[in-house]
Amino acid sequence: MSRILLIDDDLGLSELLGQLLELEGFQLTLAYDGKQGLDLALTADYDLILLDVMLPKLNGFEVLRALRQHKQTPVLMLTARGDEIDRVVGLEIGADDYLPKPFNDRELIARIRAIIRRSNLTTQEIHAAPAQEFGDLRLDPSRQEAYCNEQLIILTGTEFTLLHTLALHAGELMNKEELNEKVLGKKLMPFDRSLDMHLSNLRKKLPERSDGRPRVKTIRGKGYIWLP
């Protein structure tokens, strides 16, 4: 049973979500302010955190920043509909995905399952995958760890999946629609910048190559190429 931490000060919404998630087979823990939520997130292990932006004591961004200093637990941020800046900031500081309020129950469950499926390391296929070398990078799918010249690069689960997918298709143009489905588990929608933000974060974390070449080339309007 997957464990989910919901951090939201809306008591009515939390109660409804609790009923929905339990019916779907999830084990739910509730926190009603940012400080309580952060304490729970740091002291226990969860498969996913549902994190509202507007919270008392610590807001969602403060919770996420503090969490990412210690853990890479997948985070789905709940944002106000139409508030683009909240989505961008959340993705920049390490959220795996976002969902605007009010949301459809089926959409929420689909997003949760997609994120947990990506981060689940218990499958035989993942455990059997050996570490792989890509130039100066070594990727270990079994641990979701990336190394550059033997130095560990701290990545979220989504960033690792994006890096691994691009590296496996080195030299190939990967269109945004295909990459979005492989990495985020959802269809690319108009004005959805999630994939772009994850790639931007990844580029910032990867050290420069010794020859100065970029690791990823953007083909405007089409997609991305990992340069071998």
- At residue 82, the pLDDT reads 66
Is the domain spanning 3-119 CATH 3.40.50.2300? The answer is yes
The pTM score is 0.78
* Domain boundaries, given as residue ranges, for the chain: 3-119, 124-226
Q: Which of 97, 95, 143 has its CA nearest to residue 121?
A: 143
Angstrom distance (rounded) from CA 83 to CA 100: 8
Amino acid 124: pLDDT: 47
Distance CA 167, CA 178 (A): 15
The pLDDT value given to residue 95: 94
- Enumerate the H helices of 71-175 as residue ranges: 84-92, 105-119, 124-128, 157-168
Closest CA to 46 of 18, 66, 26: 26
Question: CA–CA distance from 165 to each of 131, 159, 160, 168 (Å)?
Answer: 14, 10, 8, 5
CATH fit for domain 124-226, picks 3.40.50.10130, 3.10.310.30, 1.10.10.10, 1.10.287.1770 = 1.10.10.10
At 61, the amino acid letter reads: F
The answer to whether residues 75 and 37 touch, using CB atoms and an 8 Å cutoff, is no
- What per-residue confidence (pLDDT) applies to 123? 43
DSSP code for 31: E
- pLDDT for the residue numbered 122: 41
37-47: burial string, b at 16+ Cβ within 10 Å, e else: bbebbeeeebb
For tokens 């976002």, what's the residue?
98
Query: Per residue of the chain (228 residues), what is the pLDDT tens digit?
Result: 899 999 999 999 999 999 999 999 999 999 999 999 999 999 999 999 999 999 999 999 999 999 999 998 999 999 886 677 888 889 999 999 999 988 899 999 999 998 888 777 544 445 556 788 999 999 988 778 899 998 999 998 899 999 999 999 999 999 999 999 988 888 888 878 889 999 999 999 999 898 888 999 999 888 999 998
